[in-house]
Amino acid sequence: MRQQVYLDHSATTPVHPKVFEVMSPYFVERFGNPSSIHKTGQSVRIPIEDARANVAMALHTDPSRIVFTSGGTESDYLAIVGLAFANKDKGNHIIVSEIEHSAVMQATDFLKKFGFEITYLSVDNYGKINIEELKSQLREETILISVMFVNNEIGTIQPIEEIGKIARENDIYFHTDAVQAFPIIDIDVSSLPIDLLTISSHKINGPKGIGALYVRKGVKLLPLIGGSQERSRRGGTENVPGIIGFGEACRILIENRDEKAKRLAEFKEKMIKIWKESIGENYFVINGHPTDVVPSILNVSFLGVDSHTMIMTLDMKGIAVSGGSACAAGALDISRVIKALNLPQDVTRSAIRISFGLGNTEEQIEKAAKEIAHIVKSRMGKRK
Ligand SMILES: *Cc1c(COP(=O)(O)O)cnc(C)c1O
């Protein structure tokens, strides 16, 4: 079922029609295994390398630095677990932020079982880490810092360059989960002090089940899945259609990113303007950083309307928004990220995430904003 207004692009995005078109021959006609010696297999090698070149270009790096994985989750795991095991002779301490994606949290939980120690950096009310706290937590045994580029629930952008510099100065590796940054920000790994970087295809209008990890030259990882594919960094027969689709999605992204970011920023502004006029500024709060934030994500609390009520009421009207991450939305729990911001309880209880993407139109934005205003006003009426 397709909802009329889809505003949950941080959870996933629809596959771009051009991406689908480019992928489709790779299911039935061009089905070969690229490791095979015959032409059926060999003929898909070049398309895979072309796709890798597109992904590499989108990050300003060499194709040899790109490892294809099954998605953002696996890339986070390969970066964190793979690096920890390959460098355990150097130390057993890892620093992450307390608002990382669950993939990073699970990877570090896994490492705890093997004697690694994890420090979780706190964030301020806007979701930013504190650089002084980071410096104070460095140890002789610290081998890795992992802080996400953009948070998936509130859109806050972290001071990536500063964090990377501190890591460099102290001979510590730096990984960043850039799954939510990549759709909006032109990330240049050739000039940023980043050693490992995670991206995912289905957040940029590519297919699900494919992602990549950027690995700086010289950074050693213990492969989590053995096999000769991906230069022995990630075994298993390549997800050929997925890789082709991801490459095409990257090509389209490079062409349209700036224009898209501008358009999404207009959507965000428009919504806020409608609410200011209809509900009034005192009845809603925008969560996340006021300026260091991506235009694709709008996390907002409508005081007095709890998250779940808002999400379900909108859902019945054909409007899809979320309570935070897709994984947290299924449960009624308050999001761990929102909790970490230490906001007043009425703000925490009512936070919803609206995330914009390519398919959205101005009419949809207006419809959703007005519907939300209507829900808020009818609730305000009830309380009187
Ligand atoms: C979606 C997401 C992931 C997971 O990516 P998958 O490809 O779905 O495994 C990881 N990190 C962030 C920040 C995400 O938004």
357 neighbors 296 (Cβ within 8 angstroms): yes
Looking at the fold, whether 82 and 218 belong to one and the same domain comes out as yes
The total number of structural domains in the chain stands at 2
Q: Is 211 left (phi over 0), alpha (psi -120 to 50) or beta?
A: beta
Looking at the fold, whether 270 and 242 belong to one and the same domain comes out as no
* Ligand 1 center–CA 36 separation, angstroms: 32
pLDDT of residue 327: 46
pLDDT of residue 384: 44
Block means of pLDDT (10 residues each) for the chain, 384 residues, are 87 98 98 96 97 98 98 98 98 98 98 98 98 98 98 98 98 98 98 98 98 98 96 97 98 98 98 97 96 98 95 96 64 83 96 97 97 93 57
CATH of the domain at 43: 3.40.640.10
* Ligand 1 center–CA 30 separation, angstroms: 29
Looking at the fold, whether 168 and 118 belong to one and the same domain comes out as yes
Looking at the fold, whether 99 and 234 belong to one and the same domain comes out as yes
Looking at the fold, whether 247 and 282 belong to one and the same domain comes out as no
287 neighbors 347 (Cβ within 8 angstroms): yes
Looking at the fold, whether 212 and 270 belong to one and the same domain comes out as no
Looking at the fold, whether 304 and 288 belong to one and the same domain comes out as yes
Mutate to test the pocket of ligand 1, among 8, 160, 200 (most ligand atoms within 8 A of CB): 200
Looking at the fold, whether 237 and 303 belong to one and the same domain comes out as no
Looking at the fold, whether 103 and 205 belong to one and the same domain comes out as yes
Tokens 């995430």 sit on residue: 353
First to last CA, the chain: 38
Mutate to test the pocket of ligand 1, among 100, 157, 180, 336 (most ligand atoms within 8 A of CB): 180
pLDDT of residue 136: 98
Q: Which of 197, 220, 252 is the last residue of a domain?
A: 252
Tell me which residue has its CA closest to atom 8 in ligand 1: 72
Beta strands 173-177 and 196-200, pairing class: parallel
pLDDT of residue 376: 96
Residues with Cβ within 6 A of ligand 1?
Answer: 10, 71-73, 101, 103, 148, 152, 177, 179-180, 200, 202-203, 211
Residues 6+ apart with CB under 8 A from 216: 65, 189, 194, 195, 196
pTM of the model: 0.96
Residue from 302, 308, 309 nearest 279 by CA: 302
Q: Which of 227, 252, 277 is the last residue of a domain?
A: 252
Q: What φ, ψ does residue 189 adopt, rounded to 5°? A: -70, -15
Q: Which of 205, 232, 252 is the last residue of a domain?
A: 252
Which residue segment(s) compose the domain that 342 sits in?
Answer: 5-12+258-380
Q: What angle do CA 49, 79, 355 make, to 5 degrees?
A: 80
97 neighbors 148 (Cβ within 8 angstroms): yes
Tell me which residue has its CA closest to atom 12 in ligand 1: 179
β-bridge mates for residue 145, sequence order: 95, 174
Beta strands 142-146 and 173-177, pairing class: parallel
Cα 247 from Cα 242, distance rounded (Å): 9
Looking at the fold, whether 218 and 89 belong to one and the same domain comes out as yes
